[in-house]
Amino acid sequence: MAKNETTKQRGWLNKSDMAASLGISPQAFDKWGVEPVARIGREAFYTVQDVVQNRIDHAARKQQPEGADGEVIDPLLEYKLLQEKLRLTTAQAYAQEQKNQVNDKVLVPVPFATFALAKIAAQIGSKLETVGKTVSRRHPDIDPRILETLEREIALARNVSAQFGDDLPGYLDEYLAAMDT
């Protein structure tokens, strides 16, 4: 049987010659981890193209920082972190301005306004409930039909007052829509 033998090709350099042409020691060349293009006996041969590609790949890996577990770190990570810090600082400043305006009683939070107005509407409703009895007590000679009509109208006003708290969010939406146009 014939044995396939590789013969040295033009452009192939052994390790010593390649290291000498690069101006480094053969041990330093070994550390680069360049794969030989062929082996003839105990001698390994390399091409300049493979060495250059190895150095380009090494430089590219060097430019991409790696994390502790070998994953590539996003090169824009620092910029993105700075952007998020800026966004957070802006939001905190806005929140503090709002809080200062509330403390200065220039701004009223919507939940408080809704609560306060609903409470006032409930007080108005309870007061309207007593009007009919107060009028009949103070004026006993008033015609019962007039008193009944008065109580009916007061009941309608009391119902409007009772619904006021539920209608407030709609009024706010309406107000904000009017402000946008």
Residue 113, pLDDT score: 84
Residue 57, pLDDT score: 87
- Banded model confidence at residue 1, pLDDT cuts 50, 70, 90: very low
Dist. CA 63–CA 48, nearest whole Å: 23
Q: What is the pTM of this model?
A: 0.43
Domain ranges within the chain, ordered by starting residue: 12-63, 100-180
Crossing angle of the two packed helices 144-180 and 110-138, in degrees rounded to 10? 160
Higher pLDDT residue, 70 or 34?
A: 34
- As a whole-number percent, the residues of the chain with pLDDT over 90 amount to 28
Residue 70, pLDDT score: 60
Average model confidence (pLDDT) for the chain?
86
Residue 93, pLDDT score: 96
Angle at 54 between CA 52 and CA 56, to 5 degrees: 70
Tell me the pLDDT tens digit for each residue of 136-161.
Answer: 899 989 898 998 999 899 889 888 88
Angle at 48 between CA 47 and CA 50, to 5 degrees: 70
Which residue is associated with the tokens 């996003």?
Answer: 74
Report the pLDDT averaged over residues 115-128. Answer: 87
Does the pLDDT at position 112 exceed 80?
yes
Tell me the pLDDT tens digit for each residue of 3-15.
Answer: 556 788 888 999 9
- As a whole-number percent, the residues of the chain with pLDDT over 70 amount to 92
Strand partners of residue 47: 12
